[in-house]
Amino acid sequence: MSTEPSALRRDPRHIVVMGVSGSGKSSVGLALSQRIGLRYRDGDDLHPARNVEKMRNGQPLTDDDRWPWLDLCGQALRDASEGLILGCSALRRVYRDRLRHTSGHADLAFVYLTGPESLLQSRMQARTAHYMPPALLQSQLQTLEVPDGDENAITISIDQPVMAMVDQIVALLHLSGPPGADGKGR
Ligand SMILES: Nc1ncnc2c1ncn2[C@@H]1O[C@H](COP(=O)(O)OP(=O)(O)OP(=O)(O)O)[C@@H](O)[C@H]1O
Ligand SMILES: O=C(O)[C@H](O)[C@@H](O)[C@H](O)[C@H](O)CO
């Protein structure tokens, strides 16, 4: 499944890969980065230590926990003059508004990864050495607000191989490859 709003900006250079824990933000963001030659950063690496500790202990983050982290995510986007793919859950509309505001990119592109709870759960359970306990998936799903039609977002199903997801993202956002990949540069 994939959807394309009508007025989507072509070939955006500031892209947020969003969705609940275990939806594949890191896997897809990295693979997309390699495909199009745009840097990837993982929002997980920007969480203050106390947020990571909270999640590790099985406690969902609150809005107040997330604001400072979202501002670091927004600043990372703002500072990336060459462009950036950022993996960031961005679960609520107000969080995405905050990213749009802090990054200075009102037209930030969002790639929303979605799939059935059973698949998310099994992917989280299969994952080793990650601080996020699968038990927190419920609260992630409760917090999630699916992007609205005016949010410059595409929706990609996680029920397919990562490379197929990347193909869809490249096609829907009309993304160009690394400079020189088509013989013309960007
Ligand atoms: N399309 C896919 N097909 C099969 N396995 C996948 C796919 N996408 C991700 N995975 C696997 O599912 C697990 C979760 O993926 P990943 O860590 O990329 O998700 P995430 O959204 O970044 O999670 P978190 O926000 O919790 O860090 C990983 O073990 C990853 O290898
Ligand atoms: O907004 C949140 O609750 C967090 O960003 C989480 O989504 C985690 O960072 C991530 O899932 C770690 O695995």
Q: Which ligand is in closest contact with the Cα of 128? A: 1
Q: Which residues contact 95 (CB under 8 A, 6 or more apart)?
A: 66, 70, 89
Long-range contacts, 150-153 (Cβ 8 Å, 24+)? 150/5, 151/93, 151/96, 151/110, 152/5, 152/8, 152/9, 152/12, 152/107, 152/108, 152/109, 152/110, 153/5, 153/18, 153/109, 153/110, 153/111, 153/112
CATH class of 2-173: alpha beta
Contact 29 CB / ligand 1 (< 6 Å)? no
Instruction: For ligand 2, atom 10, name the residue with the nearest CA.
Output: 21
Cα(85) to ligand 1 centroid in Å equals 16
The domain spans of the chain are 2-173
Residue type (1 letter), 20: V
Contact 26 CB / ligand 1 (< 6 Å)? yes
pLDDT of residue 115: 98
pLDDT digits (tens, 9 = 90+) for 55-114: 999 999 999 999 999 999 999 999 999 999 999 999 999 999 999 999 999 999 999 999
Question: Over the chain, what is the mean pLDDT?
Answer: 93
Instruction: For ligand 2, atom 11, name the residue with the nearest CA.
Output: 21
Q: Which ligand is in closest contact with the Cα of 140? A: 2
Q: Across the chain, where does the E strand assignment appear?
A: 2-3, 14-18, 40-42, 84-87, 109-114, 153-157
